[in-house]
Structure 1
């Protein structure tokens, strides 16, 4: 058995602590980046699924009350959590432009729909300055609309696109 009597180089305890902290910080940063990259964007299928959820709420209201909620012709935000835009209000549709609908003005519709159950979660991801979901009441019925990045997914159908990636997709509820 041999014994090595040469002195060994040792790290100072403060250096060891600094290395451990640096390693933990690097591992944490890498873990955060992996988690961030794994978070799905609000995909077209999610935006369409949200429209389907709103369609179900409107149809529950119709089943319970014999008709869709009675609202004046115009546009309404579906849900909450919309960004503050033009007018300093939380808006849907073209939230920073002149063609927006306010979340506050949509409260009577949300109250009516809430009477038949829980409402779907709020705003979808904005696409090129437009955010949904929103509804338009007009002579055709109630148009449930969402913004999607690229082509619309069934059962929603395309009603408009800007030629640069913004597609407005619709589910129509006839009265």
Structure 2
């Protein structure tokens, strides 16, 4: 297999950037447009658990795609651009629903943007302190998110970049051809 030419490689980079951007935009759009008026209850827990399962499935599928990709590094960046926003939007939905049903669970009322902002500040571990969880149950949920953030940053990133290494080895094996007989 001959190495791809610069134009092919440039188109691949542009394609990955466009898909990554589209993924982020679509997840953000769905977050703002999806009706969320069912309140908090067992349904909220189901949304969180189902969302985490979907997140795991997305990561699993992305790992497989990375190992088979012509450009594993680009595919890994695209995978992160899909998985991390999905993870953040999932927690933002839960925080938004809790804040709507039980406004006293946070230090101030939260709309969707505030919930997303809060989620990202927890994920980034900067915690500005302007919005804080007040109730014990909400603090427990935020603590769970912090632990899950560490898993996403550490384990998921490691798995994705391990898949890059596998993809690069596979690609190198294909380029070198079969061993001489």
Tell me the TM-score normalised to structure 2 length.
Answer: 0.28
**Higher share in strand:** 1
* Greater Rg over alpha carbons, structure: 1
Tell me the TM-score normalised to structure 1 length.
Answer: 0.28
**Higher share in helix:** 2
Q: Which has the higher contact order (CA 8 A, sep 6+)?
A: 2
